[in-house]
Structure 1
């Protein structure tokens, strides 16, 4: 049975409707000749509303990828008619009045020519990529946030390193499962070690501790893990060049679901300057106490006038002996008169008192 032109159109129409992608067929004047159901759903219009419309029709409200309104000359069908070339992977935004968001389509447009080389129709297919665009936008936003966060972390890490360098304080982390020990840059500086040459481990850490403090530190850490209590101790370390430093170490341990120790974290603070300052302060205090002690006991040479018996002060003034002694000692002065002086100054009283005792 020979197929008529009408039957051929029906078959073509049925085939068109079976295609999942949105298909719109334009005539040479951009008027729409036919479309399938998928195109109606994508554009948000009925077949009656679509057929016959041209590209210039205000019903079309297309936009570019940046969201700006698309120029009429950039509409897919107009691009093909102008260039007479196939259009591939062209993204079009469709502003539908019934939706608050833009519907995005990936467009392919193919021209068909007559035997004279004229365009007789343009077949335009749309693939709905709205969800893909949304996911892509979310991915880019996530990547942006990750990048921003990475920049912030890098900046924070740099600031932390600078702060630790200024404060002479570093941090460490010890994995009790793998026996791996991590040191921050500042701890390497405190211990006078090169990260490229020194492999941090608990045993290596103990080796750097002053021999007299090694057992103390090891015991403090062991008891801290067993008793599940942080520790805070001060101890000495010995650098490769023999220099001795004082450090303050604070540590706490984390435990897994089985209540087994899994990770210890802590800080090391170089307190050498503080210790030296404290020692110098104690030395000065002792020297001052010794000086005061000498003053209280009136040690040394006292300049006394040979005639009036006054004492010369550090300021160059002359004071009575009793006044000077009272100022520079803890003694309380009481005045009296000796036997010899009484005989000279008060002879009658002397005779009255001492003649009876003879």
Structure 2
């Protein structure tokens, strides 16, 4: 709701609006808490407390208490109290989000604005939104860590927008600084080894046309000339149109595994060549033993019966058995879980039959029946006739990598769920999110933001210029200026409202709030939220209409009462000089009785000095006292010639520098009192009369002064005549 509607309302006027049944129903139906508080000050004009004069149902539900009439002191909630006290002093609207003091798990969004004699407070529970953001941030960090541990990167290719997104770890695998440059299909293929580039390109082209899942192994040739071995698994998906719209996948760096595998294969090959008597290199048996002994991978050799022939130190460390404990035992009984022995026997049978067995992952048993995940490479040993006589088994512990992959998968699933929740929240709240890179021009809009603009996702290429063209011409400049101010002046985020005409001709009103930051490359990035506030603005206009109607009704009643009373009534505004000293006062309101009693006509808008009266009068002194003390005062005052009238004056403070006066004509009462006093004094003079002539002079003088006459004389009346 608008915070500016009530800024000029007095407490009584605001209460009159709130008491309206229609408006009260609208307030109680709002999903945000709304409360009105008046403030009390001490003699130093410092706010000492706030008092709830109204709270809607949502506010009382959030507080779990009836708020009207309750007081809020500094000790109750220091942040909220100080924010409202500062607003009273400065008049600047406050808006902030903070942990709810009585419940650290709760986040509340407060918005505070001021009206004539209090504050309007709105607040909303944003705990779920805040927690969702925190969870998303945590999960993203967890996903990044898991990818770094497992040397696995993720990617997404949007075919509609022709945009490719890589995770930070994928950049590292390709030898690039994370997010250092935009990824294109051409850049990707330039880093694929020339031997594999055509095959990889063909696979991607295939799955751009049909949905499906694919796994492919290939080599990379990085810019520094190094070669990496990778395994990529991806899946393409259809969009609503039935065409393939995007592809997502994982890429795993298997270079280290490949090196270990090649190491074992080379060892097996050398042993095979030795058994055939065909030396391919100058090496002694000690060289082979040294390679095996120093290898970081567990290397075990078995014969056709599955008996262990050799067991290197890495195998001792991995499985917990010494070489003396292991050699001669059946490998299946020693390290293969019972549930997997049949499958393991089938793998060895294929190998002994001459079939090639690719590397595979398996669960192995260590001493104490502890199980681990390992990557297994099998290399057959053959005799001179080519018959497989044994197997060299190389295995590497991938338990942590497996956990990282599982965590990564769970993270992807949870992120997908959170993304669906966030998207649903966007639709419900009628908001859209966006980012804009000022340096590259890259613009990303959520699907719901485009729908709010009357567009379908993918209908336009999001860009600053494309969005600007949709905005009402009269609002473009202010919106663009606010964007530039955020980036160049680093101003605090503020909401900017603008109109937008959809392609169907419907005009909608939006509120845009953004914040500026910089990415790792130093680019200026804007992150924003756009909200459709059309219905809210319509409600505000209706509230303005209601307020105007109520104000007019109240004003009519006020003026009827104002002009019907017999007492003179006026409202004066103090006028001060540059030093703050009162020098004059201006009439803001007067009624007919005031003009009749004082003779001051058409006074509204004029100062007392314009009527030839001395501003340094008792009235100005009274005004100053009432304004300073903010307390009502009363006195009686007599006017000068020619009326010599007496007025009883009640002075009341109504606002800063404004005082209301109520004048009651008490001339008859005062004159009767003075006449009685004069008669008593004359009677006393007559009683004490010694010299009639002197007494008559004294009495005539008193009578002349009493009636403001120059002279008074006595005449003798001849009643007989």
What TM-score do you get using the length of structure 1 for normalisation? 0.55
Give 1:202 deviation, angstroms: 1.3
Give 1:161 deviation, angstroms: 0.9
- CA distance, structure 1, for counterparts of residue 502 and residue 340 of structure 2: 72
- CA distance, structure 1, for counterparts of residue 416 and residue 366 of structure 2: 44
Q: In structure 2, what is the equivalent of residue 242 of structure 1?
A: 505
Give 1:223 deviation, angstroms: 1.8
**Is 1:265 aligned to residue 527 of structure 2?**
yes
The answer to whether the Cα contact below 8 Å between 1:87 and 1:109 also exists between their aligned partners in 2 is no
- CA distance, structure 2, for counterparts of residue 217 and residue 143 of structure 1: 45
- CA distance, structure 1, for counterparts of residue 501 and residue 461 of structure 2: 17
Q: In structure 1, what is the equivalent of residue 456 of structure 2?
A: 194
How many residues of Structure 1 are paired with residues of Structure 2 in the alignment? 259
- Residue among 338, 357, 380 paired with 1:68: 338
**Is 1:163 aligned to residue 422 of structure 2?**
no
- CA distance, structure 1, for counterparts of residue 306 and residue 500 of structure 2: 88
- Residue among 217, 233, 236 paired with 2:479: 217
Corresponding residue SS for 2:439? coil
- CA distance, structure 2, for counterparts of residue 243 and residue 74 of structure 1: 67
Against the structure 1 CA distance between its residues 144 and 178, is the aligned structure 2 distance closer, same or farther, given a 3 Å change threshold?
Answer: same
Superposed CA offset, 1:336-357 (max 9, x none): xxxxxxxxxxxxxxxxxxxxxx
The answer to whether the Cα contact below 8 Å between 1:61 and 1:94 also exists between their aligned partners in 2 is no
Give 1:265 deviation, angstroms: 1.1
Unaligned runs of 5+ residues in structure 2 are 1-273, 280-284, 290-298, 316-320, 562-661, 665-721
Against the structure 1 CA distance between its residues 69 and 87, is the aligned structure 2 distance closer, same or farther, given a 3 Å change threshold?
Answer: farther
The answer to whether the Cα contact below 8 Å between 1:63 and 1:69 also exists between their aligned partners in 2 is no
- CA distance, structure 2, for counterparts of residue 262 and residue 109 of structure 1: 61
Give 1:87 deviation, angstroms: 8.6
- Residue among 518, 543, 547 paired with 1:281: 543
Against the structure 1 CA distance between its residues 199 and 297, is the aligned structure 2 distance closer, same or farther, given a 3 Å change threshold?
Answer: same
- CA distance, structure 1, for counterparts of residue 393 and residue 425 of structure 2: 53
Corresponding residue SS for 1:226? helix
Q: Which has the higher strand share?
A: 2
Give 1:198 deviation, angstroms: 1.9
Q: In structure 2, what is the equivalent of residue 127 of structure 1?
A: 392
Give 1:288 deviation, angstroms: 2.0
Deviates more, 1:280-289 or 1:122-131: 122-131
Superposed CA offset, 1:39-66 (max 9, x none): 486673449x95xx686xxx994243xx
Give 1:97 deviation, angstroms: 5.4
Corresponding residue SS for 1:199? coil
Give 1:239 deviation, angstroms: 2.1
Against the structure 1 CA distance between its residues 147 and 296, is the aligned structure 2 distance closer, same or farther, given a 3 Å change threshold?
Answer: same
Corresponding residue SS for 1:177? coil
- Residue among 310, 322, 333 paired with 1:44: 322
- CA distance, structure 2, for counterparts of residue 156 and residue 74 of structure 1: 40
What TM-score do you get using the length of structure 2 for normalisation? 0.30
- CA distance, structure 1, for counterparts of residue 401 and residue 470 of structure 2: 49
Give 1:163 deviation, angstroms: 0.3
Against the structure 1 CA distance between its residues 239 and 230, is the aligned structure 2 distance closer, same or farther, given a 3 Å change threshold?
Answer: farther
Q: In structure 1, what is the equivalent of residue 408 of structure 2?
A: 146
Give 1:231 deviation, angstroms: 3.4
Against the structure 1 CA distance between its residues 156 and 106, is the aligned structure 2 distance closer, same or farther, given a 3 Å change threshold?
Answer: same
Aligned ranges 1:20-59 → 2 under 5 Å: 22-23=300-301, 38-39=310-311, 44-46=322-324
Give 1:210 deviation, angstroms: 2.0
- CA distance, structure 2, for counterparts of residue 294 and residue 272 of structure 1: 33
Give 1:147 deviation, angstroms: 2.0
- CA distance, structure 2, for counterparts of residue 292 and residue 54 of structure 1: 102
- CA distance, structure 1, for counterparts of residue 449 and residue 365 of structure 2: 61
The answer to whether the Cα contact below 8 Å between 2:516 and 2:526 also exists between their aligned partners in 1 is yes
The answer to whether the Cα contact below 8 Å between 2:300 and 2:392 also exists between their aligned partners in 1 is yes
Corresponding residue SS for 2:409? helix
- CA distance, structure 1, for counterparts of residue 419 and residue 537 of structure 2: 29
- CA distance, structure 2, for counterparts of residue 297 and residue 248 of structure 1: 40
- Residue among 418, 422, 435 paired with 1:173: 435
Aligned ranges 1:102-113 → 2 under 5 Å: 106=378
The answer to whether the Cα contact below 8 Å between 1:253 and 1:265 also exists between their aligned partners in 2 is yes
- CA distance, structure 2, for counterparts of residue 215 and residue 267 of structure 1: 19
Give the structure, 1 or 2, with the largest relative contact order (CA under 8 Å, sep 6 or more): 1
- CA distance, structure 1, for counterparts of residue 519 and residue 425 of structure 2: 31
Give 1:174 deviation, angstroms: 0.7
Asked which structure has the greater CA Rg, the reply is 1
